[in-house]
A and B are shown apart, each in its own frame.
Chain A
Amino acid sequence: MLILNGCRKGCTDELAINFDEKAKKSDGSCLYNMPILNLNFNLLFKNQNLIFDTYYEDYKNRNIAVETFRFYISDVTILATDGSEFLLSEVELVDFSEEDTLWVNQFEYKFPPNKTFTQIRFGLGLNPILNNSDPATFEFNNPLSIYPGMYWVWASKYIFSKIEGKIDNDQDGDADQAFFYHTGFDKYYQSVSPITINLNSTLGSTEQLNIAIDVMDIFNQPTDSINYQIDGQTHTDDNEALAERFLVNLSKSFKKSN
């Protein structure tokens, strides 16, 4: 018996949920409660939570309401102080719709323990490889399937972002005009500047990471202000410059929030 116990194999890591205190030699069977990261995207209007189909007053005494807002992010990666990187997800479809859709604005990932992560980075839109995907090869609940309505069939390319809404120019309660920005094409894929975060990962922990987008920031960047009353509509192919401006501004509008 002593000889058998001396050779016992199992999980020898005390941090594992199946740690075997009698095991003398690791057999690679250790299982862990990996840390969980909840990545949440929040939509704001002048720092307040935005509700779809509700009018908000902008900086020029007009009311605007957002009715649709969704966009792809790709290569979602967190960077640790030790120089390592961890890919959380190859692609996500962030959808702020309040209706019952398969796509959401909250994502859950397992990520490596015992590290400090100080940055998150991602691309806005789809990198050229993902943008070349065949949507028919994905199951209906995959963000790259045809079902979210984010695919230009005539170009065999995905729509990177869609925001739609209405403007009440005279604040009389009636919509005066619609705005929409449907953006895409490989050359307008945006690398979002890394966002500073502070995540300490420990086994069994659940961490929250909130990223906010303020609609007013999208239209009022220091480098470019987009007047949606004048420059309010693009399908990209009919107003390429406006689509690029929108994507650049959106890429600059992601902020870490509490």
Chain B
Amino acid sequence: MSKLVTAPGSIVAPDELRAIAADGTKLRYALMDLASKISDAIVLGRGDPDLDTPAHVISAVRLAILDGRADVAAPISGLSALREAVANKLRTQNLIPTEPDDVLITDGGQEALYLLMQTLLNPEDEILVPDPRYSSYDEAIHHAGARMVLVPTYPEDNFDLRSTEIEKRITPKTKAILVISPSNPTAAVVGPASVRAVAEIACRHNLVVISDEIYEKLIYSPSVQTSIASLPGMYERTITLGGFSKTYAMTGWRVGYVAAPADFIEMLAAVKASTTGAISTVSQYAALAALTGSQDIVAEYHEIYSRRRSLILGGLGEMGFTYGNPQGAFFIYTNAVSSGIPAFELSYLLLKEAHVLIFPGTAFGEKWVDWLRIAYLQPEDQLALALDRMKGVLGRHR
């Protein structure tokens, strides 16, 4: 374990930051606020791609605004053309037998999570969630009054799911299993064998599977994505989440989707109509253009992320940090124990002295005190500069 560094006035994080350290969301936002006050900060924190929304999407939006389509309210479930395009994509690319009525368009993946937890979970229901995890899952489950049961994952497995860990946490109150692949923060891809094992457990215990596949297009060879809803007998019990923010660099447009059997989608639409309401038509036309236009940009972005990933992995290795084999998304979850500084303090130190924003692992689960999550969402020259600065600071404090 890390030694605790307590040198007064040096790298101990301020009390106001420490006071919110247990709340992953608040901690991340507080660090982002601090970074925003540093003019030359290199931000490797938030999962917001630095790349542009593709040009053909921008052109399509321009047309939709000019010809008035953006002014016409869309149905609560989403534009029918977009639902059809999502269903077609899921059928052909993910092998999930989806019809347009099985799709609901949402205000990003985060709203999708919120709505489906509200629709699915009663107070006292239990849902199994892999740990470490993005704190939005905690919040969505908390708002439904349900109980989150953490399923540990292990660095030695590259954070893949262990069926034995799932199985032993199932109780009569368990209603659902959350599968996140690729994972935020670990970048783990749940392997085909693990996906099949989860499916078998879900069927045997009559559980719902929520499969968050928002990073599905960001997977590095030789790993492959297996959509659990495509397995025999799984479509009827699986809710698949996806979106446009990460694949197409469209976080600002706030469009995601949920795919599940139509009777569940109908209820989800009723909850959406009575709570958050429909989403903006213009954003839906942006998503439609992204999905139905040329997909060359997806490969281009993938190549960019792949180069950045190699660069960061190399730099971390030079610093003595370990990272297993991050197989997806645009994150690296790295063990920084060799620095001798707890990750929470190290994150603050790197921000204050190196002007590099990296989130501590504790923002994704209290036990991850030696880990950092790095989002490689800056150009390569900035990433190289960030690594240099980090090395310099670590050299002074080791």
**Same complex:** no
B residues apposed to A, CB below 8 Å: none
A residues apposed to B, CB below 8 Å: none
